[in-house]
Structure 1
């Protein structure tokens, strides 16, 4: 949605930046009525937070984001996307390299789905 909005308003000199926070202790989840932790998913929660603080995700300071927001607002050509926090870039590198490897492995199926548009 942010990319579509950015394309729509670019002609008016309006920039859109999608801020992707890595890990910030805001208390939002705890305040949600749906925040009940189902024991059946304890293994998933443990895996998600296993790397926190150990070279993985270190929770950021929500109050410190103001400086970063102002820096973006004052930039003449802000990025389409920016990560807030640390550890996210490394995680994305791993995620996207895995996605690319999977897409390359199954490229023959993607090409099969194309059919034979040239008729030869």
Structure 2
């Protein structure tokens, strides 16, 4: 049965790739972008099955209005995919207030506004699926991506809580946690802080640590997203990419070992 899917950040990368995959199989898609000209090719090819909306997810009022337009146009919203976001590269010490706030506005607050906006629609339907495009960097961290890491950790905490609150209404929540992919995320879509010289060697080492195999192929995520969307019992979390799987597994093993090592201190700190 065809689904109605609302997806943000659909101008390029995962957003556009997935929007096209949904349309190709007959789903109805509400695709948002800051510039809807980037969606003209999909509108031309898929006509009335796609609704292209201009949206800056940082604007809470506009986010609620976009959800209302989508509901009025297609009659329902089965799935919300919060995909809009960008990477801010730079050491924590280098990051300006404006850069830090802007990163959180888009990656965290934009996702929050749309999640809030769609919930009344899905509650009324007694069904729905909110998919948050998080990152492995919402579970583990890398240097020179401190604010990006923080924004995705915030997404994880919010979404895990949300899942427990809305399950009673027949609404599922899934966090997709990709490793790096060969999209514009680290290129045209990325922002860089004004660098301090003392972090130069760290940044160079970080840059040189990536190999061609580090980056996943965006096209390989299409089958994966379709499986998540079609699952009758979707997961709360799903990693995308073999680097994500290996990295998270290794770090979590280290965390558990450290928790056990400090168990006596932890238990004594309870007081009784």
TM-score (norm 2): 0.37
Q: Is the 8 A contact 1:29 1:35 kept in 2?
A: no
Are residues 1:103 and 2:259 paired? yes
SS in structure 2 at match of 1:30: coil
Greater relative contact order structure (CA < 8 Å, 6+ sep): 1
Structure 1 residues 56-95: aligned runs within 5 Å: 58-95=214-251
Gapped runs of 5+ residues in structure 1?
Answer: none
Instruction: Kindly state the Cα deviation for residue 3 of structure 1 after the two structures are TM-superposed.
Output: 0.8
CA distance in 2, matches of 1:51, 1:14: 38
Instruction: Kindly state the Cα deviation for residue 80 of structure 1 after the two structures are TM-superposed.
Output: 0.7
State the number of aligned residues. Answer: 113
Q: Decide whether aligned partners of structure 1 residues 37 and 24 sit closer, same or farther in structure 2, where only a CA change above 3 A counts.
A: farther
What root-mean-square deviation, in Å, do the aligned CA atoms of Structure 1 and Structure 2 show?
Answer: 2.4
Instruction: Tell me the equivalent position of 1:6.
Output: 163
Are residues 1:23 and 2:23 paired? no
Q: Decide whether aligned partners of structure 1 residues 95 and 49 sit closer, same or farther in structure 2, where only a CA change above 3 A counts.
A: farther
Q: Is the 8 A contact 1:9 1:15 kept in 2?
A: yes
CA distance in 2, matches of 1:17, 1:80: 4
Instruction: Kindly state the Cα deviation for residue 6 of structure 1 after the two structures are TM-superposed.
Output: 0.7
CA distance in 2, matches of 1:28, 1:60: 12
CA distance in 2, matches of 1:108, 1:48: 40
Alignment counterpart, residue 209 of structure 2, candidates 43, 50, 59: 50
Q: Decide whether aligned partners of structure 1 residues 15 and 99 sit closer, same or farther in structure 2, where only a CA change above 3 A counts.
A: same
Q: Decide whether aligned partners of structure 1 residues 101 and 31 sit closer, same or farther in structure 2, where only a CA change above 3 A counts.
A: same
Gapped runs of 5+ residues in structure 2?
Answer: 1-157
Q: Decide whether aligned partners of structure 1 residues 49 and 65 sit closer, same or farther in structure 2, where only a CA change above 3 A counts.
A: farther
Where is the strand percentage greater, Structure 1 or Structure 2? 2
Residues 57-87 of structure 1: CA deviation (Å, up to 9, x unaligned): 6311224323211111100001110011112
